[in-house]
A and B are shown apart, each in its own frame.
Chain A
Amino acid sequence: MDAMQHDRHPEEKPLPRVSVYILVGFILTVVTAIEVWAFYWPIPVWVIVTSLIVLSLMKFWMVVAFFMHLRYDHKLFSTFFTGGLVLAIGVVLGLITLFDNFDIGNPPPASAATPPPEVVVVPAPTQEGAAPAGTDGPSIFVSRGCGGCHVVEGLAGAVGVIGPEMTGIGSRAGTRVAGLSDEDYIRQSVEMPEAFIVEGYDNVMQPLRGMMTDEEFDILVEYLLTLQ
């Protein structure tokens, strides 16, 4: 019986009873439930984030101390584990300080979320090329570079995420700026992209209007209006 207890080092405490394990498991479950509950609470984010971190550290310690019975074992085991743990915490805090300024809680209303301008890759449109790929709306959308930054669901080549999605633009355009109809808003957005910047995006759109003929521009606007 109790082979392991028997083999314990003289400086080690006897292992806890099964009832202790059950109790710890119960507490861990309750703490996890509180964490999820707190997540949906309408209280300031920093309060929740702080409590979440404190609670998870508590869970971490409870598993290590009881389930891994470190608090009953010889100190040397703790030393070896804590050594790695302390180094790891240092590395994590160091990396975050260097790269993130502790902006861990949240999020990026506008500028942080949008990739910096240098990653804007616009497929070079050629005016001389005079619409080799076709003269319908979707072809113009892709060949004149719109697709490099805007998604249109189902249109191959319209995959960029730097600008807002264009799927359904025909039914939204008129709601963006008071006094502008669907068509007026779309025309303005292509000719003067800086006139209105959708929330969450940066003013990085290229002046692509000059890359297409008036006729192509009309076809493009008409096509965008059909996207419902």
Chain B
Amino acid sequence: MAANTHPPEHHTSTGLNHRKLLMWTFLGSECLFFGTLIANHMINRNKAAFIHDLPPSCILDIPITSVSTFVLLMSSVAMVLGVAAAERADVKQMRIWILATAVLGIIFLLFQVYEFQAFVNEGLTIGTNLFGSTFFILTGFHGAHVTLGVIWLLSLLVTSYKRNDLLVGNPLNVDIAGLYWHFVDIVWIVIFTVVYLVGAIGLTCTEVGL
């Protein structure tokens, strides 16, 4: 089989790869998608009914979420190393880093499962109040993006064993997956700051009620 069955598209009107341009356009539209969900949460979280006499943001677990944020950040580092290995046509390194990225993504998702479970046990569900609805919609959609990214990365891994020429001959296939993965990471950077840190700052989370 020829090594380069899918050469990069050279003859486009822009001189640039259109799949990559499409990915950037898609990510631009994703900014709007997550932007509105984040705004929705910021607007409504302080209008929500209290849970056990406490403001709902008190339910947020900053230490645990800091750890999961670190995990996602490390996955982005692994991803960029995987892309760099693909550029060097270093198949072994590429597989290692792509696998590492996917595993770190799965660990992040497990943190999210733990968090959702803990919230539901404390009485906060998507139907409890405005905080619950906007929080679960926002972080749920982010988690769905991470899940899709993990599936994409694992499919790249399988491709590297079945049809490696698609990746070595065209590292853009790894690069575009990397763009998507990093975007999911920067969305979390914003969510962690705005929803968790800014949301929970200055709250007195001890019982004040009657």
Contact = CB atoms under 8 A, between A and B. Distances in A.
Contact of B210 (A3, A21, A48, A169): A169
B81 interface: yes
Nearest to A83: B28
Interface string A14-30: 01001001100100110
A96 B42 contact: yes
B198 interface: yes
Contacts of A82: 28
Most buried by B among A25, A32, A107, A162: A107
Interface in B189-210: 189-190, 192-194, 197-198, 200-203, 208-210
Contact of B208 (A83, A112, A200): A200
Contact of A63 (B38, B89, B185, B197): B185
Interface residues of B, number: 75
Most buried by A among B24, B25, B48, B52: B24
Contact of A53 (B70, B170, B193): B193
Interface of A is mostly: helix
Interface string B137-176: 0000000000000000000000000000000111110010
A72 to B, nearest CB: 12
B106 interface: no
B135 to A, nearest CB: 15
Contacts of A45: 201-202
B193 A165 contact: no
Nearest to B174: A4
Contacts of B25: 80-81, 84
A227 to B, nearest CB: 11
A151 to B, nearest CB: 8
Given A80-B25, A106-B202, A91 B16 contact: no
Interface stretch (A97-105, A121-129, A138-146, A212-220): A97-105
6 contacts: A21-B77, A28-B73, A67-B182, A103-B46, A108-B46, A113-B48
Interface of B: 8, 14-16, 20-21, 24-25, 27-32, 34-36, 38-40, 42-43, 46-53, 55, 57, 62, 66, 69-70, 73-74, 76-77, 79-81, 84, 86-89, 129, 168-172, 175, 178-179, 182-183, 185-186, 189-190, 192-194, 197-198, 200-203, 208-210
Given A56-B192, A108-B46, 4 more contacts: A9-B16, A80-B21, A83-B28, A88-B35
Interface of A: 1-5, 7, 9, 15, 18, 21-22, 25, 28-29, 32, 35-36, 39, 45, 48-49, 52-53, 55-56, 59-60, 63-64, 66-68, 74, 76-77, 80-85, 87-89, 91-92, 95-96, 99-100, 103-108, 112-115, 151, 161-162, 164-165, 169, 172-173, 176, 198-200
List 4 tightest A-B contacts by C-beta distance, closest first: A84-B28, A88-B35, A25-B77, A88-B31
